[in-house]
Amino acid sequence: MPYDPSAFPPFAVTVDLVVLTVRRHSLCALAVRRGEPPFQGRWALPGGFVRAGEDLAQAAARELAEETGLCVHDPAAPTQDNGAHLEQLATYGDPERDPRMRVVSVAHLALAPDLPAPRAGGDASNARWAPVEELLEQSGYGHAGEAVAPLAFDHARILADGVERARSKIEYSSLATAFCPPEFTVGELRRVYEAVWSVALDPRNFHRKVTGTPGFLVPTGGTTTRQGGRPAQLFRAGGATLLNPPMLRPEV
Amino acid sequence: MPYDPSAFPPFAVTVDLVVLTVRRHSLCALAVRRGEPPFQGRWALPGGFVRAGEDLAQAAARELAEETGLCVHDPAAPTQDNGAHLEQLATYGDPERDPRMRVVSVAHLALAPDLPAPRAGGDASNARWAPVEELLEQSGYGHAGEAVAPLAFDHARILADGVERARSKIEYSSLATAFCPPEFTVGELRRVYEAVWSVALDPRNFHRKVTGTPGFLVPTGGTTTRQGGRPAQLFRAGGATLLNPPMLRPEV
DNA sequence: GTGTTTATCGTCAGGCAGACGACTATGATC
DNA sequence: GATCATAGTCGTCTGCCTGACGATAAACAC
C-alpha cells in the first residue's frame, strides 16, 4: 500500500524530566508548578514539546538546561564534569493521559549534584526540590500521609519509575557519583547511597567495597574536613562505569 | 500562555518489535521484508502505527499478535502460559530516521518460546527468524562478515539494544523461562542461557543454582527424555520474578 | 553388554560480604 | 590543654556463594 498521510493519527510528543538530586540526606526531585490548565496550580515534572528538527535527547537536554541551568555530562569528554547524567527512562502514551489531545511523553531521567536553587524561567516560586516520598504520597506510589495534592497527569507514575531506575542502577554502575560534586569523599558517596536507598550502610564495609573496585574512584591527593571529624581523602569518579560485583542493596 | 495547537509539530508514532526466540541453539529475531519504499525489499523489524485510541502496550501486543499469533502473557493471570513476555524497550526519535516524515518509534521487546513458523499477514516468505548476529552484521553492531543487507531504518540499533536488554535481564530475573515452553527441563533452560549469552555453562553448577533458588522453578512431577540421555525432571516457572543473587554471566 | 548422552549429587578451595573491633585525626567543649 | 564527639581508615573473622571438577544414574543406539 502506498504512503498515505491519512493512515495514521497525529500525535504531540513531549519530553518530561525526572531530575533527581540528594539534599539534606534525602532524595529529591524537581517539581514545577503548572501555570495553565489542565491541572493549573498543581505540581508537575518539568518538560515540554519536542521541536520539529530536534532529537529526543536534544529536547531533554534543552529542557534540563532551561529548568536548572545544568549542562549534560558528555560521556565522550569526561574532563569537564560540571554536568548531569541524562538518560531516557520510558515512554508514556495512554490515550487519556492528557485531556487536551493525544500526547506521547518520552520521559528522561537526570541525576544532578546538589544545586543552589531551582529556577523555572526565572521564577523560583514555581519550582522546588521536593523529597520524592512527599511527591509520591497520595498517589498510590508512596506511603500514606497528609501532603500536597498529587502530581499532575501521570507524573507520579513517571516519577516512581524514575526513582526505581535510579535505585537499581546505582547497584551495578558508578552512577551514584553523578549525585556528587566533581571531588567528593567516600563518606559523601556513602550518604548518597543511603539517601537513595533509605538505608544505613556500614561505613567500613562501604569503604572497602568502593576503594577496592578498580577504576571506580581516583584519589585526587587532596583532603577535606567539610563533613567534620578526621580529614577524608578526596576522589574523582574513575573511568569504570560498571560495578562488578555490584553494590548490594540491603534487605529492608 | 493558552493552549495553541500550532505550538507543537505533529508526529507519527509507531511501535517496532524486537521479537526474540531461541532456535537451534542460537538467539534469533523476527524480521519481515519490506514491501514498499523506503527500504523496499530490505529486512526490518515488525511494527506499525499506533492507532488513535490505543495505548502503546496495546499497540505492541496487537502487532505481535498480527505477526506471530502470540498472545501476551499477562502477569496477573499466570495460569494460562501460552503467551510471550512483552515490555517496552526504548523510544527512537531522530528527525532523520524516516525519510518520509517525522516518526517517533516506541520499540518493544518480546520474548517467545520457539515457534513453528513465522507469518507476516499469511505470507511466510516475507517473514523469518534470523540469528541476531547475522542481522547485526554489516551494521556496526556485530562482527564482520559477508551477509545480507543491513536492516532498514535504525532497526539494527534497536535490535542491538533489545538483545542487550535480554542478555542483561536474564541475569537477575527469571525471564529466561519466557524462551521455554510451559514445561521444561533444567537442561533446556541452561541451553537458553547458553544461546542468549553465547557461552558454555557448567551443567552441574547451573543445576545447583536454579534448583536452589526458592520460587524460581516448580517441579511438575513429570519427566522427559526428549533431549536424549537420562530422563530429566520437568519444571514450570515459579512465582519468583527476581533472581537474587543473580545468575553470573561468565567473562567472555 | 558396551558406549554415548544427559541428568543429578557431592566435594573442595577461593572470593566476597556482613558484623564488628581497633585506631587515627580533626573540631568542639569545658 | 584535656576531654569528648565525629568521621575516616585498616583489620579480622565467619558464612555463603561460585567455579572447577569427580562420581553416579538412567535412558538410547549398536
Closest CB to A13 among B53, B101, B104: B104
What was the pLDDT predicted at B83? 77
Strand D proximal to B75 Cβ, under 7 A: no
Lowest mean pLDDT among B33-47, B178-192, B208-222: B33-47
Residue of chain A whose alpha carbon sits nearest to that of B6: A12
CB contact under 8 A, A106 and B93: yes
Closest residue (Cα, C1') to C18: A205
Amino acid letter for position A242: L
CA of A9, closest CA in chain B: separation in Å?
6
Statement: residue A28 has pLDDT above 50 = yes
Statement: residue A101 has pLDDT above 60 = yes
CA of B52, closest CA in chain A: separation in Å?
6
What was the pLDDT predicted at A251? 78
CB contact under 8 A, B56 and A11: no
Alpha-carbon dihedral B73, B75, B78, B80, rounded to 10 degrees: -30
What was the pLDDT predicted at A212? 96
Q: Which residues pair with B147 in a beta bridge?
A: none
Q: Which nucleotide is nearest to B224 (CA to C1')?
A: D27
pLDDT, tens digit (0-9, with 9 covering 90-100), for A223-232:
999 888 999 9
Residue of chain A whose alpha carbon sits nearest to that of B55: A94
Looking at beta carbons, which residues of chain B come within 8 Å of A94? 55-56
Strand C positions within 7 A of protein Cβ atoms: 4-11, 16-22, 24-27
CB contact under 8 A, A90 and B88: yes
Give me the residue label for grid cell 493558552: B2
What was the pLDDT predicted at A2? 43
Q: Which among B14, B55, B91 is the top mutation candidate for probing chain A, defined by the most A β-carbons within 10 Å of its own β-carbon?
A: B91
What was the pLDDT predicted at B79? 46
Q: Which residues pair with A35 in a beta bridge?
A: none
Statement: residue B182 has pLDDT above 60 = yes
Query: Which band of pLDDT confidence, cut at 50, 70 and 90, is reported for residue B164?
Result: very high
Distance, CA of B166 to C1' of C29, in Å? 59
- Strand C-proximal residues, CB under 7 Å? A 202, 204-205, 208-209, 212, 225, 228-231, 245, 248, 250; B 185-188, 190, 203-205, 207-208, 211, 227-233
pLDDT, tens digit (0-9, with 9 covering 90-100), for A113-172:
987 666 655 565 688 999 999 999 866 666 555 556 789 999 999 999 999 999 999 999
Alpha carbon distance A247, A187 (integer Å): 15
Alpha carbon distance B75, B64 (integer Å): 17
Looking at beta carbons, which residues of chain A come within 8 Å of B8? 12-14, 49-50
Q: Which residues pair with B230 in a beta bridge?
A: none
Mean pLDDT value across chain A: 89
CB contact under 8 A, B36 and A100: no
Contact residues of B toward A, CB < 8 A: 1-3, 5, 7-14, 36-37, 49-56, 88, 90-95, 100-102, 104, 106
Backbone angles phi, psi at B242, to 5 degrees: -105, 145
Q: If DSSP states are collapsed to H, E and C, what string results for chain B?
A: CCCCHHHCCCEEEEEEEEEEEEECCEEEEEEEECCCCCCCCCEECCEEECCCCCCHHHHHHHHHHHHHCCEECCCCCCCCCCEEEEEEEEEECCCCCCCCCCEEEEEEEEECCCCCCCCECCEHHHEEEEEHHHHHCCCCCCCCCCCCCCCCCCHHHHHHHHHHHHHHHHHHECHHHHHCCCCECHHHHHHHHHHHHCCCCCHHHHHHHHHHCCCCEEEEEEEECCCCCCCEEEEEECCCCECCCCCCCCCC
What was the pLDDT predicted at B1? 40
CB contact under 8 A, B104 and A56: yes
Lowest mean pLDDT among A25-34, A207-216, A243-252: A243-252
Amino acid letter for position B47: G
Residue of chain A whose alpha carbon sits nearest to that of B13: A11
Distance, CA of A240 to C1' of D18, in Å? 24
Distance, CA of A211 to C1' of D10, in Å? 12
Alpha carbon distance A247, A78 (integer Å): 23
Query: Which band of pLDDT confidence, cut at 50, 70 and 90, is reported for residue B124?
Result: low
Looking at beta carbons, which residues of chain B come within 8 Å of A92? 56
Strand D positions within 7 A of protein Cβ atoms: 5-12, 17-23, 25-28
What was the pLDDT predicted at A115? 76
In B 198-217, which Cβ lie closer than 7 Å to strand D? Answer: 202, 204-205, 208-209, 212
Alpha carbon distance B103, A5 (integer Å): 12
Query: Which band of pLDDT confidence, cut at 50, 70 and 90, is reported for residue A1?
Result: very low
Distance, CA of B242 to C1' of D19, in Å? 23
Lowest mean pLDDT among A40-54, A196-210, B74-88: B74-88
Alpha carbon distance B183, A101 (integer Å): 46
User: Is residue A33 packed enough to be buried (19+ CB in 10 Å), middle (13-18) or exposed (0-12)?
Assistant: middle
pLDDT, tens digit (0-9, with 9 covering 90-100), for B27-55:
999 999 998 889 999 999 999 999 999 99
Statement: residue B160 has pLDDT above 50 = yes
